[in-house]
Amino acid sequence: MNNFNFWNSTKIIFGAGEIASLSNEIPAGARVLITYGGGSIKKNGIFEQVTAALGHVTWFEFGGIEANPHFETCIKAVDLVKTEQIDFMLAVGGGSVIDATKFIAAASKYAGDPWDIIATFGGAVTDALPVGCVLTLAATGSEMNPTSVVTRAETQDKLFFNSEHVRPKFSILDPKTTYSLPPRQVGNGVVDSFVHVLEQYVTFPANARVQDRFAEGLLATIIEEGPKALHDPENYDVRANLMWSATMALNGLLATGTPGDWASHLIGQELTGLYGLDHGQTLAIMIPAIWTYKLEQKREKLVQYGQRVWHIQETDPNLIAQQAIELTREFFESMGVKTRLTDYGLDEKAIAEVVAKLKEHQFVALGEHGDITPEDAAEILKLAL
Ligand code: NZQ
Ligand code: ZN
């Protein structure tokens, strides 16, 4: 196990009806900006619950944050923050709204060109407005981590930044908020949370037994509960287990002392930036292709995953690894998330464009060994056609 520091200061308030406790978490006299997406929270009653819970707190609203949030939209919110002297940000939505809110929180306190925040992967951030969250989609883990992913629409650059300054102060997780999710987003959320675990687990053995068992527990839970959410959307226990799994998958715990891959995320980001695919869709395409390409290096962990998570009975390690890849692909497909570039109307022309973006962003040494070059990425993308 590698050395590590672990610190996670986000307070989690979990359970049905907990939005009502919101006002306890907002400082007295705060001027709050409620941020949200394309309007789902105004149709499913979540906006009313939030505003009722805020009571006499002074609040403003900023809606229209798109999925894969745009830098350009965030900048408009920064103007509103300054005009209305906002001092607390309240994100109500999924990963896109939370990520946008983190960026707005940092950009509102940043004197220079706000794109510096992204260009320095967050290094330029020295201060931010406090952020609180009401989560409505179980997927990204953004509600309990310091990461944000923002897209500059003008240049089709989708990039992330990290800063402790934007880690949410609190997040309210009411599983009932996820009852209204469309099946496509249920599928995306299951794939995303599942892949977050895989990125930190299917690498190479690090003798991190606690982390491995945590990972296997989360994977088994998501495999069991994910399909149920599609067939029984208002099953509270199913939603609760999926929501907590998604948060635990990317809150730093699994990353302690272990190698991380993240190639599927970084190549996938380019697919979203260029062609607008959903984040979960890009991961479902990339994971089977990366594993097939890297089977030899990943074999030991693929075997562990195949035996412990999928209970594969074969004895030949290569067969176990191949079956584990196929079962993972089938699981994604069973959640309604297709696993090939061609399923989304993309062909080999996309490969050169993705590779050019990887080079432009200097993502030229990906994976847990830092050995996936843009040329390797091209080979992997061929396998994903
Ligand atoms: O915009 P509204 O109208 O709210 O609709 C949203 C959106 O269309 C809808 N939705 C959300 N909650 C709903 C709902 N519809 C009905 N009922 C509800 N309760 O779902 C659609 C997708 O929402 P979005 O927030 O985009 O989804 P998700 O949570 O999957 O977030 C994806 C974004 O997060 C980034 C991704 O790259 C992508 O930009 N990620 C952030 C990470 C992080 N901060 O740590 C890590 C991830 O790997 C990921 O990269
Ligand atoms: Zn993800």
Q: What is the pLDDT of residues 192-221, one digit of tens each?
A: 999 999 999 999 999 999 999 999 999 999
Q: What is the pLDDT of residue 15?
A: 98
Amino acid 12 reads: I
For residue 135, give both structure tokens. 């989560």
Residue 60: inside a domain: yes
Question: Is residue 5 a part of any domain in this protein?
Answer: no
Q: The dihedral of CA 140, 142, 147, 152: what is its sign? A: positive
Identify the domain containing residue 65 by its residue range.
11-177
ipTM confidence: 0.99
Cα distance between residue 49 and residue 343, in whole Å = 39
List, chain by chain if needed, residues with CB within 6 Å of any ligand 1 atom.
37-41, 44, 67-68, 93-97, 99, 136-137, 139-142, 145, 147-149, 177-178, 180-181, 185, 188-189, 192, 250, 265, 279
Task: Take atom 20 of ligand 1 and give the residue whose Cα is closest.
Answer: 185
Express each pLDDT in 16-29 by its tens digit: 999 999 989 999 99
**Same domain assignment for residues 151 and 196:** no
Which pLDDT value is given to residue 124?
A: 98
pLDDT of residue 122: 98
Residues 194 and 168 in one domain: no
Is 1 inside any structural domain?
no
Q: Mark which of 161, 177, 193 sits at the end of a domain.
A: 177
CA of 27 to the centre of ligand 2 (A): 31
Share of the chain above pLDDT 90, in %: 99
From the CA of 189, give the closest atom in ligand 1: 30
b/e for 213-241, b at 16 or more Cβ within 10 A?
Answer: ebbbebbebbbebbbebbeebebeebbbb
> Is position 145 within any domain?
yes
193 shares a domain with 155:
no
Q: Residue 337: which CATH number?
A: 1.20.1090.10
Same domain for 165 and 215, yes or no, is no
CA of 3 to the centre of ligand 1 (A): 33
Residue 47 within any structural domain of the chain: yes
CATH number for position 108: 3.40.50.1970
Task: Tally the domains of the chain.
Answer: 2
Question: Do 156 and 201 have their domain in common?
Answer: no
Kindly state whether residues 338 and 217 are assigned to the same domain. yes
Which parts of the chain register pLDDT below 50? none
CA of 49 to the centre of ligand 2 (A): 28
Whether residue 315 is contained in a domain is answered as yes
Question: What is the model's pLDDT at position 352?
Answer: 97
Residue 119 shares a structural domain with residue 200: no
What is residue 217's predicted lDDT score, i.e. its pLDDT? Answer: 98
Asked if residue 263 lies in contact with residue 366, where contact means CB atoms within 8 angstroms, the answer is yes
Q: What local confidence, expressed as pLDDT, does residue 351 receive?
A: 98
Do 251 and 367 fall within a single domain? yes
* Listed residue (59, 57, 163) closest to 104, CA to CA: 163
Instruction: Judge if 165 and 271 occupy the same domain.
Output: no
Q: Considering only CA atoms, which residue is closest to atom 14 of ligand 1?
A: 181
pLDDT tens digits, one per residue of 79-96: 999 999 999 999 999 999
Q: Give me the pLDDT at residue 287, please.
A: 98
* CA-based R_g, the chain, Å: 20
